Chain A
Amino acid sequence: MSLKDVLMPFTAWGNLFKEPVTVKDSRNVEAAPRYRGFHVNDVDTCIGCGTCEEICQNAAIDLVEVAGRDAKEGDSGLRPMIDYGRCCWCALCVDVCTTRSLGMSNEYKWVSSDPEDFRFVPGVDEKSWNDNNKGYFKMDGYDLYSTERVEMGELHPEERDKSFVEMIQGFSKEQAQKEADRCVACGICTATCPAHMGIPQYIEAIRNDDLEEGLRILYETNPLPEICGRICTHKCETVCSLNHKGDPLSIRWLKRYIADQIPESKYKEILETENITKNGKKVAIVGAGPAGLSAAHYLALMGYEVKIFEVQEAPGGMTRYGIPEYRLPYEMIDKDVDYIKSLGVEFQFGTRVGVDVPLETLEKEFDAVFAGTGLHLGRSTRVPGSDHKRVYQAIDLLRDVSYGKEIDLAEKVVVVGGGNVAMDITRTIARLQNKKFGKVNVTATCLEAEGSMPADDEEVIEAREENATIDPGWGPQEIIVENGEIKGLKVAKCLRIFDDEGRFNPSMDMENQKVFEADMIVESIGQAMDISYTDNIKEKLTFGPRGRIQVSPDFQSNIPWLFIGGDIIQGPDVIHGIANGHKAAKGIDKFLKSK
């Protein structure tokens, strides 16, 4: 501190005996309607994203904890506190506010002898102007960031409904940077991502055109970026701050952009994984789906020798044998997996644990086991006729298509189910029918009414664009079979799906029935797990609701050497599998180090 700083306050004493120049405002006129006075904040709408804090050029805003508001998905629970010793009433914070919760009353006159009073949380601290609705609010017609997504190129319906070529074309550098530019970098999304990916960080890397850094950030939490960059359920986008005033950021496509730009041959160098010191311990993994691959990746990085046992002929689990190629090309799965292979992870395909190799053998030969075997048994409607040989399970057909087997396709097909898997099989059948018969005749139906189908809206829209019929709101009653041939599916109007206790208990209007003509039926109403490989150790495991094995937060079962994750524990989606696999890898490491 300089001498000047010390003496400065005393210079004011010079004014001590001067006549004060304060003028009493006797008119008490109100400020103009759009005058910028003290801030107001609709704290129920505010999500505590901190964008106001970030933009304030006077560092007048701090996000602070307020009583009674906890962090939850899409809301940090924090609220902006404003220091009026610094605020210059520029209103940048109001203009940028992602939710439009922040505004300014037109009240500017307020006297208090305590300077601390001029630092408060608008909308939380009681102020006379809190309900004042005059003042300054952001008007329509301009925005400090773009509220619209950069459009993604897609194949036209006519081009795509005959082929399995990837539909989504991916961003160019210009498009990616423009989209990345919209990010306000609040990081609200990170909590919602099951893998808690460093989303604002990798988006910043795109802005800086430093894709190698972007790749490093992706791999910190997600070793399947090509897969996730295409088919992730992108829960992050639902909580994106920008979603409040416009389109959420295309987080998923930005992730894909990073991975797409870098050839796999450069990964090891960029990710600095050329030399991994082995620790001499071995882990076996059952299932080469996302959960198993993720666990394998992180274990390999920690120096474990990892071997994956897989029933099918290729890795990827449901991402290969479920998700159709037009959404996720196989070479993209291969790219992600090839890198994991390059870390020394071994694969043994065509081997069913529990049949070809007992779990006990894995226990003996390895230090720990991770099982991520997924949900592979189709569920049947069990309506009369459902045991007919031309009633198929969606996942069985999708697997056959992945293997390149010709399926015994009919000209008229009905799919029972309204989720994403049902849309995948419907759109796959549409493509195959188009190829084989030159026309599409497939109808998907489900209990849920239009607008509340479990499938994503875009899946339903795109299925319709590809000439499939989606006729929701019907409950299957019977598969009509005449002379051994399927004639159709009889359905009744579904009145409601859940009973008063909220249990699944659909009720139908039997007066309102109809028949969907078909010579082949595909059921797609959910999948179940096959964990018969644990039969011999069953009594040592604990089972929770719906037959799920109970695991610790580290995904360790009651049998210490057995860790379990992915669809059979949580989800079902790829990113949960990845997150589970990562946590299990850390859990295995902890377990083996403490042994």
Chain B
Amino acid sequence: MKDIVERIKVKFPVAAVTFQRKDLTFITVEKKHGVEAVTYLRDVEGFTHLVILTAVDWLEEGEFQLTYLLNNPQAKQDMGVRVRIDRENAEMQTAHHLWPALVTYEQELNEMFGISFPGSPRQGVPFILDESWQGPPPYRRDFDTKQYSEDTYFPRPGRTKIDPAEHMKKKLYPEAE
């Protein structure tokens, strides 16, 4: 894997490399080289299979991290290409022309993280959320799930809530005011 990384480095800058396992390596490249990197790995280095495209919300750092996980079926090796993008203007070039499956991944990230992939065919088309979804993208870490469910779904009649500490006060030391 080391030599693959060396060969990539000749082509464009690689910000970080993690040799996770013998058969698994991660590289981090700038956003503008992201699609180029996966194209190169697919066409030249034999990473012909796309395993997954996912995102991680680095809220505190104001960034999303995209990971394109690629597999080389011959060499039985995986390579993850990580790209950091701005969280405010969450946008990434589409790579759906490389693998048709990316249409679905990009659609999912669009819906769940609010990351847009201009030119990708199903951007804005509901994926697993239905048309009535009114909240912000729910996989963003600042999405307050509990608040959303409390605001959106009416409470079932007959439900009561008892606070343990208050309950113990009432039962065990009612004299305290």
Q: At the interface, yes or no: A292 with Cβ under 8 Å from chain B?
A: no
Q: Which residue of B lies closest to A188 (CB)?
A: B164
Measured between beta carbons, the chain B residues less than 8 angstroms from A374 are none
Question: Does A62 lie within 8 Å of B160, measured CB to CB?
Answer: yes
Q: At the interface, yes or no: A48 with Cβ under 8 Å from chain B?
A: yes
Question: Does A57 lie within 8 Å of B164, measured CB to CB?
Answer: no
Which of B153, B161, B164 interacts with A186 by CB under 8 Å?
B164
Question: Does A64 lie within 8 Å of B160, measured CB to CB?
Answer: yes
A583 to B150, CA, bound (A): 41
Question: Does A57 lie within 8 Å of B146, measured CB to CB?
Answer: yes
Q: Which residue of A lies closest to B144 (CB)?
A: A57
Q: At the interface, yes or no: B145 with Cβ under 8 Å from chain A?
A: yes
Which of A116, A188, A200 interacts with B168 by CB under 8 Å?
A188
Chain B 89-129 per-residue mask, 1 if CB under 8 angstroms from chain A, else 0: 00000000000000000000000000000000000000000
A201 to B140, CA, bound (A): 30
Known: A63-B164, A86-B149, A187-B164. A70 touches B156 (CB 8 A): no
In B141-174, which residues have CB < 8 Å from any A CB?
145-146, 149-150, 153, 155-156, 158-165, 167-169, 171-173
Question: Does A76 lie within 8 Å of B164, measured CB to CB?
Answer: yes
Measured between beta carbons, the chain B residues less than 8 angstroms from A119 are 156, 159
Q: At the interface, yes or no: A71 with Cβ under 8 Å from chain B?
A: yes
Q: Which residue of B lies closest to A185 (CB)?
A: B165
Which of B145, B149, B164, B172 interacts with A48 by CB under 8 Å?
B164
Which has the most chain A C-beta neighbours within 10 Å: B145, B155, B162, B171?
B162
Question: Does A76 lie within 8 Å of B156, measured CB to CB?
Answer: no
Question: Does B162 lie within 8 Å of A63, measured CB to CB?
Answer: yes
Q: At the interface, yes or no: B4 with Cβ under 8 Å from chain A?
A: no
Measured between beta carbons, the chain B residues less than 8 angstroms from A301 are none
Q: At the interface, yes or no: A65 with Cβ under 8 Å from chain B?
A: yes
**B-contacting 9-mer, from A28-36, A77-85, A167-175, A410-418:** A77-85
A116 to B155, CA, bound (A): 13
B158 vs chain A, min Cβ distance (A): 8
Q: At the interface, yes or no: A502 with Cβ under 8 Å from chain B?
A: no
Measured between beta carbons, the chain B residues less than 8 angstroms from A553 are 175
B70 vs chain A, min Cβ distance (A): 29
Measured between beta carbons, the chain B residues less than 8 angstroms from A86 are 149, 153, 156
A217 vs chain B, min Cβ distance (A): 14
A62 to B163, CA, bound (A): 9
A63 to B165, CA, bound (A): 11
A343 vs chain B, min Cβ distance (A): 21
Q: At the interface, yes or no: B10 with Cβ under 8 Å from chain A?
A: no
Question: Does B159 lie within 8 Å of A83, measured CB to CB?
Answer: yes
Measured between beta carbons, the chain A residues less than 8 angstroms from B165 are 76, 186-188, 190-191, 200
A86 to B156, CA, bound (A): 9
Measured between beta carbons, the chain A residues less than 8 angstroms from B156 are 83, 85-86, 119
Q: At the interface, yes or no: B176 with Cβ under 8 Å from chain A?
A: yes
B82 vs chain A, min Cβ distance (A): 24
Measured between beta carbons, the chain B residues less than 8 angstroms from A200 are 165
A389 vs chain B, min Cβ distance (A): 48
B137 vs chain A, min Cβ distance (A): 16
Known: A59-B146, A86-B149, A86-B153. A191 touches B168 (CB 8 A): yes
Question: Does B149 lie within 8 Å of A58, measured CB to CB?
Answer: yes
A553 to B153, CA, bound (A): 47
In A44-61, which residues have CB < 8 Å from any B CB?
48-50, 53, 56-59
A300 to B156, CA, bound (A): 50
A399 to B173, CA, bound (A): 36
B136 vs chain A, min Cβ distance (A): 15
Known: A71-B172, A85-B156, A553-B175. A62 touches B162 (CB 8 A): yes
Question: Does A78 lie within 8 Å of B159, measured CB to CB?
Answer: no
A485 to B13, CA, bound (A): 88
A188 to B153, CA, bound (A): 30
Which has the most chain B C-beta neighbours within 10 Å: A76, A85, A188, A553?
A76
A579 to B176, CA, bound (A): 11
A567 vs chain B, min Cβ distance (A): 21
A190 vs chain B, min Cβ distance (A): 5
Which of A58, A62, A71, A196 interacts with B167 by CB under 8 Å?
A71
A214 to B149, CA, bound (A): 32
A112 to B16, CA, bound (A): 56
Measured between beta carbons, the chain A residues less than 8 angstroms from B153 are 86
Measured between beta carbons, the chain B residues less than 8 angstroms from A56 are 146
Question: Does B164 lie within 8 Å of A50, measured CB to CB?
Answer: yes
Question: Does A196 lie within 8 Å of B176, measured CB to CB?
Answer: yes
Measured between beta carbons, the chain A residues less than 8 angstroms from B175 are 553, 583
Question: Does B167 lie within 8 Å of A78, measured CB to CB?
Answer: yes
A523 to B78, CA, bound (A): 74
A196 to B173, CA, bound (A): 9
Which of A63, A70, A72 interacts with B161 by CB under 8 Å?
A63
Measured between beta carbons, the chain A residues less than 8 angstroms from B164 are 48-50, 63, 76, 78, 186-188
A188 to B160, CA, bound (A): 20
B167 vs chain A, min Cβ distance (A): 5
Question: Does A190 lie within 8 Å of B145, measured CB to CB?
Answer: no
Question: Does A64 lie within 8 Å of B149, measured CB to CB?
Answer: no
Which of A59, A77, A83 interacts with B171 by CB under 8 Å?
A77
A337 to B158, CA, bound (A): 51
Q: Which residue of A lies closest to B146 (CB)?
A: A57
A200 to B163, CA, bound (A): 13
Question: Does B163 lie within 8 Å of A50, measured CB to CB?
Answer: yes
A237 to B59, CA, bound (A): 35
Chain B 20-32 per-residue mask, 1 if CB under 8 angstroms from chain A, else 0: 0000000000000
Question: Does A191 lie within 8 Å of B149, measured CB to CB?
Answer: no
Measured between beta carbons, the chain A residues less than 8 angstroms from B173 are 191, 196
29 contacts between A and B (CB under 8 A): A49-B164, A53-B161, A56-B146, A57-B145, A57-B146, A58-B149, A62-B161, A63-B162, A63-B164, A65-B167, A71-B168, A72-B172, A73-B172, A76-B164, A76-B165, A76-B167, A76-B168, A77-B168, A77-B171, A83-B156, A116-B158, A186-B165, A187-B163, A188-B168, A190-B165, A191-B165, A191-B173, A200-B165, A583-B175
Listed from nearest, the 4 A-B pairs whose CB atoms lie closest are A187-B165, A76-B164, A57-B145, A71-B171
By a beta-carbon cutoff of 8 Å, the part of chain A in contact with chain B is 48-50, 53, 56-59, 62-65, 70-73, 76-78, 83, 85-86, 116, 119, 186-188, 190-191, 196, 200, 553, 583
By a beta-carbon cutoff of 8 Å, the part of chain B in contact with chain A is 145-146, 149-150, 153, 155-156, 158-165, 167-169, 171-173, 175-176
Known: A49-B164, A71-B167. 8 other contacts (CB 8 A): A56-B146, A58-B149, A59-B150, A63-B167, A70-B171, A78-B162, A190-B165, A191-B165
